[in-house]
Amino acid sequence: MAGIAPFALAGTHGGTVLLLGGQYLQGLGFGATTFPLMILALSGLSHDEAPRGSAAFTVVQRVGAPFGVAVILQSLLADAAGPEDGLAAFSTTFWWTFGLSALPLMLALLVPKADTAKSAASPAAAA
C-alpha cells in the first residue's frame, strides 16, 4: 500500500525517484505476500488437484487485478474532458487501489493469533 501512495499523489511534473521507490515497495509487498497466500490457497488441495488450483490462482492474480483496475480507470476516463481530468482519473484509480488493498489488511488484523504454547505441546507438532 505504501508503494501505491506515490502514484496517487503524482502530478504532471514527475517525481521519478519517488515513483521508482513506490514500484520497489510494490515489488517487495508482492513478493512478501504472493507465496504465503498461494501456500494457504493450495494447502487444502490433493496432489492431483494442486496443478489446477495453482493455475486458477495465477489466472485470478494476473488477470483479475489488472482487469479491475482497468474497469475503474476506464469508467473515470469516460468522463474526462481534458488532460487535467485524465490525471485526476489516474490519481483516483490509484486511491481506489489503495482503499481496496486496505480491506484485506483490516481483515487480516481480525484473524486470531495461534496459541503457540498449545501447538508446541501437541503430539502433531512433535512428529
Instruction: Tell me the pLDDT tens digit for each residue of 36-73.
Output: 888 888 888 898 998 998 898 888 888 888 888 899 88
User: What is the span of the domain harbouring residue 15?
Assistant: 5-107
Neighbours of 4 (CB within 10 A): 20
31-45 exposure pattern, b = at least 16 Cβ within 10 A, e = fewer: eeeeeeeeeeeeeee
Reading the block at residue 61, the C-alpha cell is 492474480
Report the domain count for the chain.
1
Query: Global pTM?
Result: 0.67
Least confident of 55-59, 79-83, 93-97: 79-83
**Quick one: cell of 88?**
485526476
> Model confidence at 25, in pLDDT bands (50, 70, 90)?
very high
**Residue 116: inside a domain:** no
Whether 113 maps to a domain, the answer reads no
- Residue that is written with C-alpha cell 488450483 in the block: 53
- pLDDT for residue 24: 94
